[in-house]
Amino acid sequence: MSFGQNPLPDRKEMIALIRKAVELGVTFFDTTEVYGPYTNEELVGEALEPFKGEVVIAT
């Protein structure tokens, strides 16, 4: 969502996609600093902030 694609996807659309995944039952998200660095972690963190305590984020 933030690395290896040109042009980069729209940030707001990617946040909406991640939040939709949670609504559909996804509770585990895996990311790494190699996708940025830190850019993808920031995106995932922002997207999942409303779900704090409900999901697991692995880095």
Q: Which helix (H) or strand (E) holds 30?
A: strand 28-30
Selection from 15, 48, 52, 50 nearest residue 29 by Cα: 48
- Which active-site residues does the annotation give? 35
Three-state SS for 56?
strand
